[in-house]
């Protein structure tokens, strides 16, 4: 079976999860590699604890889970990714902190306006409904 370059490019893009760009004439130009979340482009995302009191690092993205660590105001740690969890002060996002090895409400962590990539949600049952 004969295939065209455009069909081969499309097949490669579909199999690898890549994105395609098109030229003005509507033919396929190239298959680009998959893009990564914005936060990964500029290196690690550092978060700073911005609460007035120490914050608890949790085993799951809810205030009902076990405390695995505690961070002082001004502490810095690497923010790996975020999930939606229990809303804290109106913010449903929780960050996974690499050094602390646990979840912290995004309400208490400043990432310097850097976008934090989403990660797999391990705790769907704690998501806010509505």
pLDDT band of residue 121 (cuts 50, 70, 90) is low
Residue-wise pLDDT for 38-82, tens only, equals 344 556 899 999 999 999 999 999 999 999 999 999 999 999 999
In terms of Cβ atoms closer than 10 Å to its own Cβ (0-12, 13-18, 19+), residue 24 is exposed
- Report in angstroms the alpha-carbon separations of 12 from 16, 35, 37, 102: 6, 15, 22, 38
């Amino acid at each position: 079976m004969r295939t065209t370059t455009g069909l081969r490019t499309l097949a490669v893009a579909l199999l690898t999860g890549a994105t395609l760009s098109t030229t003005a004439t509507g033919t396929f130009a190239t298959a680009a590699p998959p893009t990564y979340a914005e936060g990964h482009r500029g290196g690690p995302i550092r978060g700073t604890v911005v609460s007035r009191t120490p914050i608890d690092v949790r085993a799951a993205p809810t205030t009902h889970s076990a405390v695995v660590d505690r961070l002082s105001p001004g502490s810095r740690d690497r923010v790996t990714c975020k999930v939606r969890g229990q809303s804290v002060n109106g913010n449903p996002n929780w960050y996974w902190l690499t050094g602390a090895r646990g979840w912290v409400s995004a309400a208490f962590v400043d990432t310097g306006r850097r976008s934090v990539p989403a990660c797999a949600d391990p705790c769907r049952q704690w998501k806010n409904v509505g």
